[in-house]
Amino acid sequence: MEDKEKLVKRVRNYLLDLLPSAGQIVRRYLHAEELPSKMKGIHDFTTVADLAVDEFLRENLKKNFSEISFLTEETFEGDLNKYRQKELLFIIDPLDGTANFARGDDNFCISVALANSGEPILGVIFQPIQSRLFWTTYRDKKAFWNGRSIHVSDVSELNKAVVCTDWSHVMETREETTNFLRKIYHKVRQIKILGSAATDLTLLARGGVDIYHHVKLYPWDVAAAGLIAQKAGAKVTEIDGGSWNAFSENILAANPTLHQKLLELS
């Protein structure tokens, strides 16, 4: 069996080439006159672009890494438990920010993580319209954006902090986000809702926002981006401060100073 470190490097190099190619598929659909879609829930849907990118990624990755299992948003059948302890697992969101994409908003991305027993060990994210490529591995001491290292902001006061959050597709959990906003709205500089968890976490990783909070997520939403944020200097946990991994349902990410101040508000 191939050494894990060598495998991760090989997968990383392959994904750095593959995701821009997948991005070309997305770009072809972006301004289509018709964009067929179907509902997956009350507030969630998928488009032909999501499905096309998903198929493209799975076909190419299977050819080159047949030993690695898959968990993708578009092929998920409803039981996460059978994936949690997989030694090697691709976690894929072919188009994170579908609602943005469907309206011509360019805040969306393609996200691929490689996980080992639930812990992300590689993350690669590509924003097709801006040609932004983010990546890191469990061995790296930094996260990278188009080849240069990035770092979270050094903002240390809540009254100067920009917060990013979003509403879950799961209606029953939306009150938790509402409560969080009630708690912080008068303490922080700005609150943003941008519509793509993976893209928003890369924004945190490069210092564009200072705090990211989200309730009720799926692994494909944050597996890659959470690792990128960590390697960019963020403290990434559950919203109560508990340990985070790819299968955590909630996430709180910020530089260590702001992270601690948020926990103290609880």
CATH number at residue 68: 3.30.540.10
pLDDT band for position 171 (cuts 50, 70, 90): low
For residues 244-254, give the mean pLDDT: 97
Mark whether 41 and 111 lie in a shared domain: yes
Q: What is the pLDDT of residue 41?
A: 42
Mark whether 136 and 171 lie in a shared domain: no
Q: Is the pLDDT of residue 79 over 70?
A: yes
Residue-number span of the structural domain to which 142 is assigned: 4-150
pLDDT band for position 84 (cuts 50, 70, 90): very high
Mark whether 17 and 69 lie in a shared domain: yes
DSSP per-residue codes, 215-246:
SS--HHHHHHHHHHHHHTT-EEE-TTS-B--T
Of 150, 179, 207, the one marking the end of a domain is: 150
Mark whether 144 and 18 lie in a shared domain: yes
Mark whether 199 and 143 lie in a shared domain: no
- pLDDT digit string, tens, across residues 28-59: 887 664 554 444 443 344 788 889 999 999 99
Of 85, 118, 150, the one marking the end of a domain is: 150
> How many CA atoms, within 13 angstroms, populate the side-chain half-sphere of residue 120?
33
CATH number at residue 230: 3.40.190.80
Q: Is the pLDDT of residue 87 over 90?
A: yes
Q: What is the pLDDT of residue 173?
A: 74
Q: What is the pLDDT of residue 31?
A: 67
Mark whether 69 and 97 lie in a shared domain: yes
Average predicted confidence (pLDDT) for the chain:
92
- pLDDT digit string, tens, across residues 134-164: 999 999 999 999 999 999 999 999 999 999 9
Of 150, 181, 209, the one marking the end of a domain is: 150
Q: What is the largest CA-CA distance in the chain?
A: 55
Domain tally, the chain: 2
Mark whether 196 and 233 lie in a shared domain: yes
Burial class (CB in 10 A: 0-12, 13-18, 19+), 174: middle
- pLDDT digit string, tens, across residues 121-137: 999 999 999 999 999 99
Q: What is the pLDDT of residue 30?
A: 79
Q: What is the pLDDT of residue 214?
A: 96
Q: Please check whether residue 114 is in contact with residue 65, taking contact to mean a CB–CB distance below 8 angstroms.
A: no
